[in-house]
Amino acid sequence: MDLIKKLREETGLSFAQIKKALDEANGDEQKAKEILASLAGASAEKKADRELGAGVISSYIHSSGTMGVLVQLGCETDFVAKNEEFKSLAYDIAMHIAAMGPTSINNEDGAGEETALLKQSFVKDGSITVEERLAQAIQKFGENTKVVRFTRYTI
């Protein structure tokens, strides 16, 4: 039960999902995390075609005042868009864009995957990409979630 609580705090996923992953992993915490990560990807794929009807616009201004980012993070409903964790995710993505300087969301500009936002290692957790972080959010919120657009300003 302590392990379920620990994973719940780390992932924010339901007790049922965590228990199922732990059962499948025979109680191995690391294996359970891998199973939960693969479930997040599958969940994201299923919801990818759902229409985005809500979301938030978040900003990040660097302390020097010479760089700023606006990002639009879309979701399906206002209920999720008003969630503090969703707003925090949008802010974290804006901060990531400021730090890493992507030029496109998914290499639409042909500049390469190293400048594609979704393919970059997430600044707050280098073990996953921004795309994987969004998949985790989709699994947690139960709604399609996408970076719709962003703009990075620098002086």
* Chain mean pLDDT for the chain: 91
Most confident of 14-18, 21-25, 102-106: 102-106
For the cut 90, the answer to whether the pLDDT of residue 42 exceeds it is no
In the block, residue with structure tokens 């802010």: 91
What is the distance between the alpha carbons of residues 73 and 58, in angstroms, rounded to a whole number? 8
Confidence of residue 43 (pLDDT cuts 50, 70, 90): low
Domains of the chain, with CATH numbers? 2-47 (1.10.8.10), 54-154 (3.30.479.20)
CA distance to 23, 68, 72, 140, per residue, from 152 (Å):
44, 6, 12, 28
Residue 50 scores a pLDDT above 70: yes
Give residue 30's pLDDT. 87
Q: What is the pLDDT of residues 64-119, one digit of tens each?
A: 999 999 999 999 999 999 999 999 999 999 999 999 999 999 999 999 999 999 99
C-alpha span between 93 and 100 (Å, rounded): 10
Q: Contact at 8 Å (CB) between 99 and 153? A: no
Within the chain, residue ranges assigned H as helices are 2-11, 15-24, 29-47, 78-81, 84-100, 130-141
Interacting residues of 28 by C-beta distance below 8 A, sequence separation 6+: none
